[in-house]
Amino acid sequence: AQSVSQHNHHVILSEAASLELGCNYSYGGTVNLFWYVQYPGQHLQLLLKYFSGDPLVKGIKGFEAEFIKRKFSLNLRKPSVQWSDTAEYFCAVNGYGNKLVFGAGTILRVKS
Amino acid sequence: DTEVTQTPKHLVMGMTNKKSLKCEQHMGHRAMYWYKQKAKKPPELMFVYSYEKLSINESVPSRFSPECPNSSLLNLHLHALQPEDSALYLCASSQEGSVDYDSPLHFGNGTRLTVT
């Protein structure tokens, strides 16, 4: 069965700091990878997605990610975070069918 | 704002009650999903309807009964729930009958369910 690991459960940063959130998956085949964000009281929103091609992926709100196949990872990055980036971030993997499996989530708090 | 609408936003029910959660999307999506999210946990898949047919039931107890009256609507009927069923219930849809790069999930805001 596929699984997803997010390395940090809580991250606290100051505004303008750089962000990197790790995500590793276990699945031997071709995967679809997603990062979702859940702002307080809001719905899960798609930040970015990856299937194939350029391993550097651009998402919304200034987020980007790098796919490293040999590490089975899609790490989320943002060069300079803002207070409004305070949210919970979920990595998700879909290797086959309709079973999108989510990681445990990372709660990011940005101090202003 | 999300294009997947869930009602009600909050629901409190007793263990002997029968209630329903509703979900609606008008994006022409072909698949609809129910997820359950407990506090400080990731969403967990419950059911998937693809082209209005139940395609996945993740061994969910029968006290949860899904229904897909048409391609735009998804219901979750609740009966004889337990306090441990209290959670955020999320509805989602995808353009095609399965989730992939070209057909990611679009989520609603969820229904916060409390079982007393």
- Give the confidence band of A3 by pLDDT, cuts at 50, 70, 90: confident
Mean pLDDT of B55-76: 96
DSSP at A84: G
> Would the CB atoms of A98 and B55 count as touching at under 8 Å?
yes
Model pLDDT, residue B101:
84
Element (H, E) at A10: strand A10-14
Mean pLDDT of A71-77: 95
Kindly tell me if the per-residue pLDDT of A96 is higher than 70.
no
Residues A105, A34, A87, B73: is their CA dihedral positive or negative?
A: negative
Q: Does A86 touch chain B (CB under 8 A)?
A: no
pLDDT digits (tens, 9 = 90+) for B25-57: 999 999 999 999 998 889 999 999 999 999 999
Kindly list the distances between the CA atom of residue B4 and the CA atoms of A71, A110, B67, B100, in Å, as whole numbers in the listed order: 35, 29, 16, 18
Q: How far apart are CA A94 and CA A99, in angstroms?
A: 6
- Give the confidence band of A87 by pLDDT, cuts at 50, 70, 90: very high
Q: Which residues of B touch A (CB under 8 A)?
A: 2, 4, 31, 33, 40-45, 48, 50, 55-56, 90, 92, 94, 97-101, 104-110
Closest C-alpha to A49, from A29, A76, A22: A76
